[in-house]
Amino acid sequence: MPSTNVVRRVFKPALFLLCLLPLASLVWRAFELGGTNLGANPVEKIQDTLGQWGLRLLIITLAVTPLRDWFNAAWLIQLRRMLGVYAFFYILLHFLTWLILDQDLYWAGILPDIADRPFITIGFLALLLLIPLAVTSTNGMMRRLGRRWKTLHRLIYLIVLLGIWHYYWQVKADVREPLIYLAITLVLLGWRVWKVRRRLLPSHRGADRPELREET
């Protein structure tokens, strides 16, 4: 297992750069560097790419705890916050792209869209729910909220499902990719449910390792 120092000095900066790659690639192509470009519909490309990576990062964030359990790699938890904050970052950019580049801040269209079009309503709701999670992601906030922090951050399950629903509803006919995301998410959620149930069953209680009890 890598030391806390290695995680902090090597893994975290590497992950930081890795998570920046999708955005860097968009900026690179937007300026048509090296003969690249964003295709015929750059606004759509930017919006889709940002949304897709936001959703993927949300699911990756959700996968951290199961991965830690399966591979007995406690250090993974130290990467979870960065993944979650990046997910919020991409989803916020996705929303701003829609607002500014796609809708040109045309409020007469934007407000009815948010109110009347279920897939936009759902996406917007997911973004709103992410805001308190992003705001309380600091160490200070974690301390201050104590046990309530964990309760609050369970919202992530709902947010991921809303995000997948938003994506599923947006595609015209080929729902394979959103369904793959849903399958992965259900496995990750199922694992948690199974773990909690096992802990609650009296026959397993004694066998359970107490140090794992606190994390869900």
Partner 1 sequence: MLIRQPRPGDSAQIRPSEITPESVFLDRRRLLQAALAAGVAGLGGAWSEVASADVAPLEYKRNEKYSLTETPNKYEDITGYNNYYEFGVDKSAPAANSGRFKPAPWSVAVSGECENKGTFTLEDVLKGHPLEERVYRLRCVEAWSMIIPWIGVPLADILKRYKPTSKAKYVAFKTVMRPSEMPGQRYDVLEWPYVEGLRIDEAMNPLAILAVGVYGKSLPNQNGAPLRLITPWKYGFKGIKSIVEIRFTERQPPTSWNISAPHEYGFYANVNPNVDHPRWSQARERRIGHGLFDSRVPTLMFNGYEREVASLYQGMDLKKFY
Report, in Å, the least distance between residue 109 CB and partner 1. Answer: 6
Report, in Å, the least distance between residue 150 CB and partner 1. Answer: 36
Report, in Å, the least distance between residue 175 CB and partner 1. Answer: 9
DSSP per-residue codes, 144-212: HHTHHHHHHHTHHHHHHHHHHHHHHHHSSS--HHHHHHHHHHHHHHHHHHHHHHHHHSHHHHTTS-GGG
Report, in Å, the least distance between residue 168 CB and partner 1. Answer: 11
Contact positions vs partner 1 (CB under 8 A): 30, 35, 37, 39-44, 46, 101-104, 106, 109, 112-113, 117-119, 169-170, 172-174, 176
Closer by beta carbon to partner 1, 103 or else 136: 103
Residues 6+ apart with CB under 8 A from 156: 58, 61, 62, 84, 133
Closer by beta carbon to partner 1, 82 or else 122: 122
CB burial of residue 129 (10 Å; 0-12, 13-18, 19+): middle
Closer by beta carbon to partner 1, 87 or else 162: 162
**Radius of gyration, CA atoms only, the chain:** 19
Closer by beta carbon to partner 1, 78 or else 103: 103
